[in-house]
Amino acid sequence: MAAILLIEDDPMVRRGLQLALGRHGHEVEAAETGEDGLRRFRSTVPDLVVLDLMLPGVDGLEVCRRIRASSEVPVIILTARGDDFDVVAGLEAGADDYVVKPAQPTVLDARVRAVLRRSVGTPDGVREHRDLRIDTASLAVSLRGEPIALTPTELRLLLTLSRAPGRVFSRQQLLEEVWEHDYLGDSRLVDNCVQRLRAKIEADPASPEYVQTVRGFGYRFGPA
């Protein structure tokens, strides 16, 4: 069971998702505005946030940015149309995944559980690559001795790539392993997460040492 904060302004959608997620075993607190959602986030510290993008006042993108500025709690965004701009903007704001409305409760529950599972690594010791140190038991990452705060999805991506330096992972392989999407998923999830990860661990994200692009194939972790 996860403690979920649902931020959704439509009362029927909000109540329906709150009841449905509750039936799946989650404890759901609901907010109807961005301001109320941020207040509840600070007071309750949920395990995960489900966030509608189209909110009155402080919109969902700004809510996501403010959450991400102070916390690595996973965020799933709800977008009414699956519009390219909405999806990309949400991912760039720091969201971990997205679901297109109308959200089927079983699909949303599956995404919630998958996102939460990403925070669990396989304890197999310490990986050191140049100045980057990854402790897979404590899930701590440091660069030149300084701790690096990663979201669960960024950490899962780094753990997946770094377990086999030099191996090329296709975007679809990463979707299946990191996002647990066993269908032809949206490669923007991978590309945006790579960009965010590079911004945190690379001295020059434009010329990455660790997470390297293999044009036409996917990504690899640079050899140690």
Q: What is the pLDDT of residue 81?
A: 66
Give yes or no: residues 150 and 89 share one domain: no
The mean per-residue pLDDT over the stretch 116-144 comes to 78
Share of the chain above pLDDT 70, in %: 92
Q: 169 lies in which domain range? A: 126-221
The more confidently predicted of residues 186 and 62 is 62
Q: How far apart are CA 127 and CA 28, in angstroms?
A: 37
pLDDT band per the 50, 70, 90 thresholds, residue 122: very low
Same domain, 112 and 7: yes
Residues 6+ apart with CB under 8 A from 85: none
**Based on the structure, what is the number of domains in the chain?**
2
Residue 17 lies inside a defined structural domain of this protein: yes
* CA pair distance 54, 61, nearest whole angstrom: 9
CA–CA separation, 148 and 173 (whole Å):
25
User: Is pTM, for the whole model, over 0.75?
Assistant: no
Q: Which has more pLDDT, 18 or 2? A: 18
Q: Is 170 helix (H, G, I), strand (E, B) or coil?
A: strand
170-222 tens-digit pLDDT:
998 898 888 876 555 678 889 999 999 999 999 999 999 999 999 988 999 98
Supply the angle between the helices 105-117 and 152-162 in degrees, to the nearest 10: 60
CA 169-165-117 angle, to 5 degrees, is 60
Task: Please state the length of the chain.
Answer: 224
Q: What is the mean pLDDT of residues 14-42?
A: 93
Let me know whether 61 and 133 are in one domain. no
**Closest listed residue to residue 64, CA positions, set 43, 81, 89, 46:** 89
Model confidence at 152, pLDDT cuts 50, 70, 90, reads confident
* Domain identity same for 50 and 90: yes
Query: Are both 28 and 109 inside the same structural domain?
Result: yes
Q: Is residue 47 in some structural domain?
A: yes
pLDDT at 164: 80
Do both 83 and 151 map to the same domain?
A: no
Q: Can you tell me the mean pLDDT for 75-89?
A: 82
The verdict on residue 121 lying in a domain is no
- The last residue of one of the domains, among 116, 142, 177, is 116
Query: Confidence class of residue 120 from pLDDT cuts 50, 70 and 90?
Result: low
Identify the three-state secondary structure at position 110.
Answer: helix
Domain holding 32: CATH number? 3.40.50.2300
